[in-house]
Amino acid sequence: MGNPISKNKRNGTGWRPYVKFPLRSRSPSSAEWVVDEMAGPGDPLLLFRQTLAAHQNPTLHTSNDPSSPALPPEDLTGAKYLQFPSTKTFLPLDTATRFQRKEPEPLVFNLKEIYFAWLLQAETTANYIAKCQALGIHNLTFVEKADLSTWLEGGDSSDYISTIPLNPLI
């Protein structure tokens, strides 16, 4: 299939790659490479995946101060940030992710919704939906939640994670 990264026209910052096609089934090593190129260093989904691969869990915090104590895992009401210990990165919980629902209405899930779906992956669907409604956040469907968990744990593809070009001018 060839190299998944192509080069665009040279601009003031040099050559910038962009992804030509969506991530689909490939070997885990090449899939990881494509995801790295697609997402960039601050991509919430990639940070989440790297943290889990390092056998660590992301932690909730009230601020992005590294000295702030971690909150209990389900304390989404007081939390404002999610820390990824593998990279010591803090991201706001309202950060949009590349995890998207296309039908029946398009919806981009934020980091809070992704974290909560991962946290409650073993919860029954009815309990998970009820807890999402109580928090006022969007819930993932059963299939979306399974897809997310599989990808976060090292799966090589997702039907719900969008690809994005690294150069928005393309």
Res. 41 pLDDT band, cuts 50 70 90: low
Report helix, strand or coil for 144. helix
Cβ neighbour number for residue 60 with a 10 Å cutoff = 21
What average pLDDT score do residues 17-25 get? 33
- The tens digit of pLDDT for each residue in 60-105 reads 999 999 999 999 999 999 999 999 998 999 999 999 999 999 888 8
Cβ neighbour number for residue 39 with a 10 Å cutoff = 22
55, 57, 68, 94, 136 from 108: Cα distances, Å? 27, 23, 29, 11, 15
Q: Where are the beta strands (DSSP E) in the chain?
A: 5-7, 17-19, 59-61, 81-84, 89-92, 96-101, 107-110
Q: Which amino acid is at 18?
A: Y
CA 147 remoteness from chain centre: 12
Pairwise CA distance, residues 112 & 95, whole Å: 8
Res. 39 pLDDT band, cuts 50 70 90: very low
pLDDT at 45 over 90: yes
Long-range contacts of 74-83 (CB under 8 A, 24+ apart): 74/119, 76/112, 76/115, 76/116, 76/135, 76/137, 77/135, 79/112, 82/44, 82/58, 82/111, 82/112, 82/115, 83/58, 83/59
What average pLDDT score do residues 10-18 get? 33
Report helix, strand or coil for 155. coil
